[in-house]
Amino acid sequence: MAEEIVQPVRKCIYCGGEVTGERRGEHIIPEAIGGDLTLKEKAGKSVCRHCNNEVLSVLDTELCRRSHLSLIASQEIDSSLWLVWDIDHSAQNLLVEARPEWEDCELRSLYSYPQMIFETNGPQIRGDADEIERLGKDQFLNVMIRAVYSAFERFNSGKKRVFHFERVRTDLSSRSYRLPPRVYSPHSIAEIAQDIQSQSFVFRYLTTADRRCALRAMSQLDLGNRKQFDRYAHYLGSRTPSISVFFDMGLTIRAMLKIGFNLLAAYCTNTIVNLDTFPQVTRLIRGEEHLKPIDIAGSGFVYAEDVEDLARPRCHCFRITSLEKEWVIYMSFFGGRVGSVVSFPGPNREDWNTMDIIAPLHSKEWTATPSQLFLPLKVRVEWSKHEAITPSLKLQYAQTRMLVKDAPAPR
């Protein structure tokens, strides 16, 4: 008789669902900001594919690519990490896809990605002013139109991953910014020119109606009739950009709570850390419960100087503290250039009350130092003052805008 090997059923710590086909699993801190270690590698804990890819990855995007943290990450890791828009005030505050170009810690300019924007009166092509001048306007238009045309044809014939659809969730209406649907490429037009027939584009839109309109406009692109773009050819990217940081406060807090919860799951050896023992925070993270004022008051970005004692160069550093069923986790990212705090209730069966964790960027060699002392930090939560949250950054024209969005109602 063949021996039967019984695999223990692994359950997702966020939803309790059965975990199948897990590969590396959930990163304790997002991979996008240099967090290499996963929950599975550190503690053998699992997160199901649905939670990992859909529920939780949205949160990582908001924290790592939109919030204050993304500004620093764009300098330390990859400038394309910061999802930033240039604003064309001459076109009724049109938001233009762009990435920052840093010089030391100062924003030198924004580079406008090559993009086709689908305005109601027809598509427009935009790009970086310097690049267009270098390449010549005709060549720029030619390459861009052919690349988008080819992408649409491949998309239409069922090819996958031609367009990366991204629905923008930010509410722009109250500041009268405009975000018509658009496709853009993170590559330069010279790179696109080398292989026009196989480009993919990010396809960004606000509503499904916008998405339909843009697809229809692409189906009507006429390669033979270059005139359809002539009247738009003079719009160049702004040379002295004003920029904005747009992010959703609710998603960002949930992303921070997730890091805190992951750290507990990774480093608590006696406490069971899952949705049954920490129902409140896991429901918040999964978006099944609304954030209450107390969640917002006790969690968020902090004055960077308040967590500077934790900081180590080229490391993300954390302090986990626990007292009377309340957990508080202090976070210092990128050597202390930006910090945050989260707090939430939950049991503690550990023999320590404070643990300091040092996570070097792009490394699995994390260190953890437990202590029986209770060593809280005095921190001030702050959401909008750049000079307090990211003092190492000089942003002359920066404005911050954020909003709290309702999570879906509990089932």
Interface residues with Zn ion (CB under 5 A) are: 12, 14-15, 17, 48, 51
Kindly write down the DSSP assignment for every residue of 23-67, as one continuous string. SS--BSS-GGGTB--BHHHHH--B--HHIIIIIIHHHHHHHHHTS
CB of 15 to Zn ion, least distance (A): 3
CB of 54 to Zn ion, least distance (A): 9
CB closer to Zn ion out of 76 and 289: 289
Q: Give the number of other Cβ atoms within 10 Å of residue 296's Cβ.
A: 15
CB of 73 to Zn ion, least distance (A): 26
CB of 318 to Zn ion, least distance (A): 23
CB closer to Zn ion out of 10 and 126: 10
Rounded CA separation 161/151 (Å): 10
CB closer to Zn ion out of 25 and 127: 25
Q: Are 47 and 273 in contact (CB under 8 A)?
A: no
CB of 315 to Zn ion, least distance (A): 29
CB of 66 to Zn ion, least distance (A): 24
CB closer to Zn ion out of 69 and 266: 266
CB closer to Zn ion out of 12 and 307: 12
Q: Residue 356: which residues within 8 A CB-CB, separation 6 or more?
A: 310, 317, 318, 319, 368, 369, 371
Nearest to 389 by CA among 311, 300, 303: 303
Rounded CA separation 332/337 (Å): 7
CB closer to Zn ion out of 115 and 282: 282
Could you tell me the two tokens for 227?
Answer: 């005139």
